[in-house]
Structure 1
Amino acid sequence: MNVTERLELALLTVAGALLGILCCGFLMIYLGSIPFPITALVAGVGNLGLLWLAGQYTESGWRFAPLGAWTLVVVLAMLPGLHGSGQWISGLPLLLILALGLGIPSTIAARFP
């Protein structure tokens, strides 16, 4: 890997973190009075795309860096805030975003060469 490929992989990792922030921020969207967590599906497709792009630059374990950055952001959003303030995300949307945003891309990425 040369310097430009490392820089592009770093930018993909930052994009993974930004995807995590946006997905957590818009996870609790309501369609009328019904919760509509479409960002869980966006997280899965986005992470799969980031993993595919990172796989174009390297075949080492660094190709999972965007998924690791996304996971770090989602885990930080699960933690309670200071002075007992609530979690940013919790409940069924949390399980859905983890299943679609982490489970499916990592399962499919395991089949990449």
Structure 2
Amino acid sequence: MAASLTRTQWFTLLLLGLDAVLLALLEVFFLPLRVGSLGTVPLPLTALVGAVTTPWLVRTTAKLVRPGLSFVPLAVWVVVVFVIGLTGPGGDLVLVQDWRALLLLGASALPAALVLGGGLGRATAAKGLGRG
């Protein structure tokens, strides 16, 4: 049976979930960023931010809280991106309907899911080796 979380672990999990919310908001709202003299060149820098930060949140949760709860930042990030992106403030559609939205989702959620699966696999393997 798994031990319950300490107050510090709960606080850390809450803080990492809040980080996921703030990063998702930042990434969705700045995704339509354009550069150039007339604002003609799309520059989805937030996809790069998501590619670095979302897997980092998952890995940090696995290290500081528990590997079994490392899905929490990824789940929070996905929910916030879809809820705010599709039903944004005032009912506006914030998530742009082109390749940049796919890039954001693929560059952020896919690496985080790979980190999540790898961490859970290592934790399961360590438990199996410890029993032997």
Q: What is the TM-score when the length of structure 2 is the normalising length?
A: 0.76
Are the counterparts in 1 of residues 58 and 115 from structure 2 also a CA contact under 8 Å? no
In 2, distance between residues paired with 1:28 and 1:76?
Answer: 17
The answer on 1:50 being equivalent to 2:57 is yes
The reply to whether residue 18 of structure 1 matches residue 22 of structure 2 is yes
Deviation at 1:12, TM superposition (A): 0.2
Number of residues of Structure 1 aligned to a counterpart in Structure 2 = 111
Distance 1:82 1:13 in 2: 21
Deviations 1:9-67, CA, capped at 9 Å, x for gaps: 1110110011000001111111212001010111121001111110112021x211111
Larger Rg: 2
- 1:63-83 deviation digits (Å, cap 9, x = unpaired): 111111111111113324688
Structure having greater relative contact order (Cα 8 Å, sep ≥ 6): 1
Select 2:9's aligned residue among 5, 14, 17.
Answer: 5
Query: Aligned residue for 2:93?
Result: 87
Q: Which runs of 5+ in 1 are unaligned?
A: none
For 2:127, the equivalent position in structure 1 comes to none
Q: 1:70 to 1:88 in 2, by over 3 A?
A: same
Say if 1:82 and 1:43 are closer, same or farther in 2 by CA, change over 3 A.
closer
Q: Does 1:30 align with 2:34?
A: yes
1:110 equivalent to 2:117? Answer yes
Residue 91 of structure 1, CA deviation: 1.7
1:88 aligned partner, one-letter code? V
TM-score, normalization: structure 1?
Answer: 0.88
Give the root-mean-square deviation of aligned CA atoms: 1.8
In the alignment, structure 2 segments of 5+ residues that lack a partner are 123-132
* AA at the equivalent of 2:98: G
C-alpha contact (below 8 Å) 2:28/2:85 kept by paired residues: no
